[in-house]
Structure 1
Amino acid sequence: MTSPRVVVIGTGYVGLTTGACLASLGHAVVCADADQDKVDRLARGRIDILEPGLAELVTSGTAAGRLTCVGTSEKAFGRFLRNAEIVFLCVPTPMGAGGLADLGILETVVRQISELLPPGCTVVTKSTVPVGTATRLTQLLRRDDVSMVSNPEFLREGNAVRDFLHPDRVVVGSADREAAEQVASLYASLNAPIVLTDAASAELIKYAANCFLAVKLSYANAIAELCDRAGADVADVAAGMGFDRRIGKEFLAPGPGWGGSCLPKDTSALLQLADSMDFEFRLVRAAIDTNIRQHKRVVDKIREVVTGTRLGSMSGVRLALLGLTFKAGTNDLRDSPALAVAALLREAGAELVAYDPAVDSADSRIADLPFPVTDDPHHAARGADAIVVLTEWPEFRELDWHRLATVVRTPVVVDTRNLLDASSLSRAGFGWTGLGKPPRSAMATVPPSRRAVEAVPTPVTTPA
């Protein structure tokens, strides 16, 4: 059987991963993007996205002739579209006014390709879209001979390739059963459970799943705060919970809050959907409020460590921030809780210097940050009153902490990810405090007014 001719429009995290992975499964795939410079970089083997395994798949797919990248302004794009059997739409749907997903780019693309699609073609929304979008796009297409299918992605940044090739499930929804089965057949070799449903249900599954994860993360952070107050150990509490199969071990690690390109906009979009249907989704609202409160709670903990009280002045306090991306394994800064905490620290008067292994000091995305970003963690730590871990990069465990102790003003670490080993830090002369960890002893080297507590951090899992 001949492999379907697939066109993927959009080469961001979702689009490029979708195209490269489908090509690795043996399908003939064309990835198209409106950004010609990005397409040219892809043609030269340059991948802007930090995603393990993706560059290798793009290179191998291109070399095998199964993966082609073109600009949407190129003549070749129209030719590929006219011969396409399946077209994936993987363009941005950012948060718009009031929290609703902005479908402007998606709708523009649908209008542009409408007349170029061959009869019998299937158009697939991979982007996260509100319930009812498939119906809306069908009306925009104005093509009775073209089917619309919803096939939401469930890719975690930093794990996108693995998630695509080893999915928990594949969700496909459409009013056209034959078209839905055609799309599902693309994933046949993965042997994953297939959920065939209507388009509205498929669209809602995506939001329902992501918002549940947001609720779980906010719950984990709330439990960590309760552990702080009760003298319990959140690592042990999370472990005890995680062995329950109904709960699971994932998404139980505390942190400075959740963020990224999905959870903030998806929770807001689900609230908007609920409001439009006269339903007050208080549980999701509480998860969002808890997440915002978490940023302030982390700042309060930092304030208490460096001043001795949660009401102490942060004016002139110098802090070294380790981590800016919203999680380890990605260079994505969108809605990063690290940046949210940093903003609050700046408002409180703290002086900040940041280091992140995935963010170069010359990165244009950080040009407007009100604090410097350095390429050397030792430079960030120089003269610091505390080192604050905001992203769970494994590399931070391997830093030369003995050397760092010689350049800081006060050897204290506030670990908002419970990432580091307190015993190792103690041997280097550092005090350590985390989230939801019971106090064991104070470091004698830390002045009483700036004394941190030591506890052994044993995170159960890393949140996505």
Structure 2
Amino acid sequence: MRVAMIGTGYVGLVSGTCFSEFGHSVVCVDNDRSKIERLLGGEIPIYEPGLDDLVARNVRSGHLGFTTDLAQAVRDAEVVFIAVGTPSRRGDGHADLSYVFEAVRQVAMAADGYRLVVTKSTVPVGTGAKVKALLAETRPDLPFDVASNPEFLREGSAIEDFMRPDRVVVGTETARARELMTELYRPLFLAETPIVHTTIESAELIKYAANAFLATKITFINEVADLCEKVGANVQDIARGIGLDGRIGRKFLHAGPGFGGSCFPKDTRALVSSAQEYNAPLSLVEQVVASNEARKRRMADRVIAAAGGSLAGKTVGVLGLTFKPNTDDMREAPSLDIVPALIRAGATVRAYDPEGMAEARRLLDRVVWAEDAYDAVTGADVAVLVTEWNQFRALDLDRVKAAMKAPVMVDLRNVYKPEEMAARGFAYSSIGRPAAGLG
């Protein structure tokens, strides 16, 4: 099939490339000329393991192309995906749909016959109806169908998630639209992937409900971790003890500094705003949002406490800046709250991240940028592990200790074992577990 993917951000680029791997003819469109030129030159603007090879292979095969010419891409396509950004709107938390609606207008003006217009962007319930109305208003002379096909891609494993998904959710209104979407995903039938066919409204809400539920699990275990610290329990034992219950499951029960990234923060806020708009408030999700934002702000206090109650004139080595490993995404990363708070407390911050340094330099001021993990902790009074990159899981602890001014570590991801860190001579604290070597 011939597909136009409007938007070459994370969702659009990964989805378009994977559709081309299925054998479809895909053109990815963006109005950012420099980004398209980079893609045409073989440079991938985001870090996602394996994406560069997949793009190169499908460009060589002729299944994948890139352009700034939206009109031509739409005229050549049977199915047009909208995969532009829907950031949180300033002030009220609603998803900003201005990019979506502008793309829809351009699609309507460019189409020369029937098109299936699919929202791949994460959009609030009711957006599909607005897209349908906008298409009809802009081009009453042409037939269109609208569909919702939310993505469930995890940064760092997005290609695997697309190729071997737990499910594919498709919201349609007509038999023709359903048949086209079924044909697009036919390669997944061999793996017996469940295809969940719903109304457009249900598909839109499934995406938000899924992310809100996962965010709730994270927030729950984080609050349990706080209780564990008060009573001397171990949150990892708690997580395993409840996660082995099939009704609960083990995933997303890892205590840490709070969730971030491109999805959970904005999607929970948007769901709260939509629920309030429809007078069906989701008080549980409202509390998840508030708890998570407060948690990220509190993380610097743990570092200050580990340093003896003051960071004035002291150095903190920060390991990891991105919101999770295997991505260069800094959006709403806990480090964006932690690092400035450490600096305000008087610390000199030396920081290192394997992939996020370029974006971090743009977002964080007054930071000393290190060459590697050991450089980050050189001369540090305390080290803080913020992102659990694999290279931070197997540090040479003797080298770390020798490089530091004082062997104090705050592990916000529970990578190391307290008793082992104590045996190595570290004063060590983590999340929801008894501290070690501090007395």
2-structure distance, mates of 1:99, 1:206: 17
Check the 8 A contact 1:402/1:429 in 2, yes or no. no
2:375 matched to which residue of 1? 379
2-structure distance, mates of 1:372, 1:133: 44
Deviation at 1:370, TM superposition (A): 3.3
1:340 matched to which residue of 2? 337
Deviation at 1:428, TM superposition (A): 4.6
Deviation at 1:349, TM superposition (A): 2.8
Deviation at 1:220, TM superposition (A): 0.9
Deviation at 1:399, TM superposition (A): 2.8
Amino acid at match of 2:355: A
Q: Deviations over 1:381-410 (max 9, x none)?
A: 122111000001111123332222122111
Deviation at 1:240, TM superposition (A): 1.1
1:8 matched to which residue of 2? 5
Segments of structure 1 that go 5 or more residues without pairing to the other structure are 443-450, 453-464
Q: Deviations over 1:140-186 (max 9, x none)?
A: 11245011111011111111111111111111112223203311321
Amino acid at match of 2:371: D
1:84 aligns with 2:84: no
1-structure distance, mates of 2:296, 2:158: 27
| Equivalent residues in 2 for 1:348-363, closer than 5 Å | 348-360=345-357, 363=359
Classify the secondary structure of the residue corresponding to 1:99: coil
Segments of structure 2 that go 5 or more residues without pairing to the other structure are none
For normalisation by structure 2, the TM-score amounts to 0.94
| Equivalent residues in 2 for 1:158-177, closer than 5 Å | 158-177=156-175
Query: Of 142, 146, 149, which aligns to 2:147?
Result: 149
1:408 matched to which residue of 2? 404
Amino acid at match of 2:157: N
1:135 aligns with 2:150: no
Label 1:184 to 1:340 Cα distance change in 2 as closer, same or farther (>3 A).
Answer: farther
Deviation at 1:364, TM superposition (A): 7.4
1-structure distance, mates of 2:434, 2:167: 39
Taking only aligned residues, the RMSD between alpha carbons, in angstroms, comes to 1.8
2-structure distance, mates of 1:422, 1:59: 45
Deviation at 1:424, TM superposition (A): 5.4
| Equivalent residues in 2 for 1:39-58, closer than 5 Å | 39-58=36-55
How many residues of Structure 1 are paired with residues of Structure 2 in the alignment?
431
2-structure distance, mates of 1:235, 1:359: 28
Label 1:408 to 1:94 Cα distance change in 2 as closer, same or farther (>3 A).
Answer: same
Amino acid at match of 1:171: V
Amino acid at match of 1:52: P
Deviation at 1:120, TM superposition (A): 2.1
Classify the secondary structure of the residue corresponding to 1:410: coil
Classify the secondary structure of the residue corresponding to 1:17: helix
2-structure distance, mates of 1:376, 1:47: 23
| Equivalent residues in 2 for 1:267-416, closer than 5 Å | 267-307=268-308, 312-360=309-357, 363=359, 365-366=361-362, 368-416=364-412
1-structure distance, mates of 2:252, 2:233: 19
Deviation at 1:302, TM superposition (A): 1.9
2-structure distance, mates of 1:364, 1:399: 22
Label 1:122 to 1:298 Cα distance change in 2 as closer, same or farther (>3 A).
Answer: same
1-structure distance, mates of 2:298, 2:52: 39
Check the 8 A contact 1:318/1:352 in 2, yes or no. yes
Amino acid at match of 2:218: L
Percentage of matched positions with identical amino acids: 44
Check the 8 A contact 1:306/1:386 in 2, yes or no. yes
